[in-house]
Amino acid sequence: MDVLYFAWVRERIGLPREKVESNASTVAELVAELRGREERYDVAFSDLSALRVAVDQELTDFDASLQGAREVAFFPPMTGG
């Protein structure tokens, strides 16, 4: 699946998007896998209360299923308007 990062999450991880091969069944499991990769991921995901997630461009929560998901995005709370 494609994993996308925006705003300071993108800056901390150091890239805007990447292909990730994962068997994670939920967003939380994917986060745990990413945190185990390298310190920059671990730091970016250290406080989930400061993050939001979208699966296939719909806002959801960290318990959400990844079954059939093609795109997962992580970002800070939005500041539109």
Q: Report the C-alpha gap between 63 and 66 in whole angstroms.
A: 9
20 binds other proteins (CB under 8 A): no
Query: Which CB atom, from 8 or from 37, has the smaller least distance to other proteins?
Result: 8
Beta bridge partners of 65: 26
Binding to other proteins by CB under 8 A, coded x per residue (else -) over 26-65, reads ----------------------------x--xxx------
- CB nearer to other proteins: give 36 or 80: 80
The answer to whether 1 contacts other proteins (rule: CB under 8 A) is: no
Query: What CA–CA distance (Å, rounded) separates 8 from 75?
Result: 8
Determine if residue 14 is left, alpha or beta; phi over 0 gives left, psi from -120 to 50 gives alpha, anything else beta.
Answer: left
